[in-house]
Amino acid sequence: MEHEHLLYDGVTGLPTLQAAVESMRRVIVERGELLILYFNFSRYSKIEEIYGWEKLDAVLATTAAAVRAYLHDSPLRSSRVMVRYANDDDFVFFHIPEPGFEAAGDEQITEIISGLQKHVSERIEVAHGEDIASLFDIYAGRSHVMVNPKFRLERQIYRGVRQAVLASQSVEARETVKKLEDLRESIRTRGVYVDYHPIVVAETGEVFGYEALARGVMRSMRSPEVMFEVAARGDLLWELSRICRSRAIEGMQDRFDNGELLFLNVDPGDFADPTFSPEQLDAPDPTRVVIEITERTAIKDYPKFRNRLQAFRDAGFRFAVDDAGSGYAGLGSIANLEPDFIKLDISLINCIDENFIKQNLVETMIGFANDQGAQVIAEGVERAEEMAILKELGVHLVQGFFLHPAGVPSHTPEHLPIQVPPGPSTHGPKLGPDTRAIKSA
Amino acid sequence: MTKTALPHVLVVDDNHDNANIIRDYLEARGYPITVAYGGEEALEIFERDRPSIVLLDVMMPGRDGWEVCREMKQNPDAARPVRVIMVTALHDWTNKRQAIQTGADDFVEKPFELSRLADTVERNARMLTPVR
């Protein structure tokens, strides 16, 4: 059939909604009812923003396989079909009860969603690491369609899908409010700890410094991306950033024995915080602190921003441009910041051994850095093949899963409680029905 | 690499002279070649023959090289991987970033020497052999 591929999603191998409705039409009419589950996997677009499209494709493929495997073993295994819906990050599942059986009840569905979240999260963690696994949430909504021959079947199904989408959105809204409460609590109790990710010299493997990654003590705040996203929504960025910065510097004093540098993430917006100053940072030795500024956030007032940077530079702090090469801006905007370090965007590193254009861009960046007297850091190195190419290209410093695999304890200050307290969790089932409430666990 | 092991190459260029010169040169080096003189034709051949390497000119009337590359890479088939080499003047950062975004694997800057083009094809042919 011409354009047959449009009926199936290339990454996940799942049919589109139209293709599924067409092939299931007869069975749905025969059974007379249909249960629609809508799953929204939130923040998948964040994965693409941070790691690039290849990574999101891989995560989507893992997700689809995990969802399929889980549902295959669930009580919904009979007469079911899963489809990709309109976006990258959502799936629709049709459950058509077998003759003589009732459609799955609320309690059963809640249990299935809970198990699904856990299973998908585990599969993603094994395949792609903890940071990616902790980034996403699943919001599920359901609707129950009783087929009425007076109406066109397609319309009834599309309406059912829309109801399930709305139900999942109301669950998401509830969860967002809960997360904001968790963040306020985290700020009030300074419930933030720091993971230190080693940055090593590419040639020797010697530890050169550590990047501080702040995480919330509460499970719902474990992912830094989620925590800062909630803070931005609640207008609490400055408050959260202050705590993260001071935690990172406290830990440095406790843990860094051999003159390693501390790489500290600072959002350009933090420079507008009147309390953010070299004095407030209170670093015992500012020359050992590198302030990382991401290229992703637009800097609105360049001259003013440069003045603020200069005050830090005069006090001895150094600078790194983070996520360099993530946008289309090129090298000009990087040169403007006169960085001491250039951290390459992860999307340029991911599968660099297989892509000669990425190799060319990284080579260009290294040449540029050498001219500017800066050092290039390759972030997100996950495989030996990537490491080998990066060394060949002359990258100065490297960071990533390959050097810091899961299981190696991070440097967590001992006086901080990192046990996860019981309470609000992003990993419980989050299911929303179309018309009535099903309790979240 | 023996002659029989060389991968099938699809050459796409709306300039017939350019396409034919590339075809003759690579054919003489043992590659099985198919030529398409436009984006639409390239996609048809791609669907039918599933070549392993595509040399893709960017500036073409109708569907340009970016669009064609995106379509070819959109539905990856693990059993039949394809390497797409953009043939264009990718001078600046933006263009190269765009090439990665569309899924391209490599590029040859215009104007090019045929021997350089052959080297590029060869290094991509090597990537088709699973080493991991």
- Please report, for residues A289, B10, B79, B81, the alpha-carbon distance to residue B50 in angstroms, rounded to integers and kept in the order given: 53, 9, 11, 9
Tell me the residue type at B126: R
CA dihedral B18, B23, B28, B34 (to 10 degrees): 180
pLDDT of residue A50: 80
pTM: predicted TM-score of the whole model, two decimal places = 0.78
Determine how many CB atoms are found less than 10 A away from the CB of residue A408. 8
Determine how many CB atoms are found less than 10 A away from the CB of residue B24. 12
The whole-number average pLDDT for the span B98-116 is: 90
| Residues paired with residue B106 on neighbouring β-strands, in sequence order | B85
Answer for the pair A136, A42: CB distance below 8 angstroms, yes or no: yes
DSSP string spanning B88-132?
E---SHHHHHHHHHHT--EEEESS--HHHHHHHHHHHHHHHS---
Q: pLDDT for B46-78, tens place per residue?
A: 999 999 999 999 988 888 999 999 999 887 777
Determine how many CB atoms are found less than 10 A away from the CB of residue A13. 13
Tell me the residue type at A362: V
Please state which of the four CATH numbers 3.30.70.2170, 3.20.20.450, 2.40.50.180, 3.40.190.10 is assigned to the domain occupying A192-399: 3.20.20.450
| Percentages of chain A per state (helix, strand, coil), in multiples of 5 | 45, 20, 35
- From first to last of its 441 residues, chain A has per-residue pLDDT tens of 444 445 556 666 666 777 777 777 888 888 888 888 888 888 777 888 788 788 888 888 888 888 888 887 777 766 566 666 655 567 787 777 777 666 667 787 788 888 888 898 899 989 988 888 888 788 888 888 898 989 988 889 889 989 999 998 998 899 899 999 999 999 999 999 999 999 999 999 999 999 999 999 998 898 888 999 999 999 999 999 999 999 999 988 878 888 899 999 998 888 888 899 999 888 989 999 999 998 766 666 777 788 888 999 999 999 999 988 876 556 777 888 889 999 998 989 999 999 999 999 999 999 999 999 999 999 999 899 999 999 999 999 999 878 765 433 344 434 333 333 333 333 333 444 332 222 222
Helix (H) or strand (E) holding A241: helix A237-255
Q: Which token pair is A243? A: 């705590």
Query: Where do the structural domains in chain A lie, given as residue ranges?
Result: 4-181+425-433, 192-399
Whether A328 sits inside 8 A of B105 (CB atoms) is no
* B101 interfaces chain A, CB cutoff of 8 Å: yes
User: Chain B partners of A385 at a C-beta cutoff of 8 Å?
Assistant: 132
Q: What is the Cα–Cα distance from B66 to A52, expressed in whole angstroms? A: 18
- Out of A57, A357, A361, the one facing B104 most closely (by C-beta) is A357
B111: preceding bond cis by omega (within 30 degrees): yes
Q: Which token pair is A3? A: 């354009």
- Out of A53, A347, A357, the one facing B96 most closely (by C-beta) is A357
Which residue's entry shows tokens 């904001």? A180
Phi, psi of A136 (to 5 degrees): -105, 160
Between β-strands A318-324 and A431-433, what pairing exists: parallel, antiparallel or unpaired?
A: unpaired
Q: Does the pLDDT at position B121 exceed 70?
A: yes
Which three-class secondary structure string do you get for A121-142?
A: HHHHHHHHCHHHHCCCEEEEEE
User: Chain B partners of A360 at a C-beta cutoff of 8 Å?
Assistant: 96, 107
Q: Does the pLDDT at position B123 exceed 70?
A: yes
Which residues, other chains included, contact A294 with Cβ-Cβ below 8 Å and sequence gap of 6+?
Answer: A265, A267, A268, A321, A322, A323
Answer for the pair B120, B104: CB distance below 8 angstroms, yes or no: no
Q: How far is A12 from chain B (nearest CA, A)?
A: 10
Q: What is the Cα–Cα distance from B56 to A158, expressed in whole angstroms? A: 40
Q: What is the Cα–Cα distance from A302 to A329, expressed in whole angstroms? A: 15
Whether A355 sits inside 8 A of B107 (CB atoms) is no
Between β-strands A33-42 and A90-95, what pairing exists: parallel, antiparallel or unpaired?
A: antiparallel
* A364 interfaces chain B, CB cutoff of 8 Å: yes
Whether B105 sits inside 8 A of A356 (CB atoms) is yes
Answer for the pair A383, A400: CB distance below 8 angstroms, yes or no: no
Q: What is the Cα–Cα distance from A4 to A433, expressed in whole angstroms? A: 34
Query: Where do the structural domains in chain B lie, given as residue ranges?
Result: 3-128
pLDDT of residue A329: 59
Task: Kindly state the DSSP code that residue A98 receives in the 8-state scheme.
Answer: P
pLDDT of residue A377: 97
Which residue's entry shows tokens 């390693």? A260
Q: What is the Cα–Cα distance from A388 to B124, expressed in whole angstroms? A: 18
Which residue's entry shows tokens 């300074």? A190
Task: Please tell me the CATH superfamily of domain A4-181+425-433, with its number.
Answer: Reverse transcriptase/Diguanylate cyclase domain (3.30.70.270)
Cα dihedral across residues A418, A122, A407, A253: positive or negative: negative
Fold of B3-128: Rossmann fold (3.40.50)
Report the complex ipTM.
0.92
pLDDT of residue A257: 82
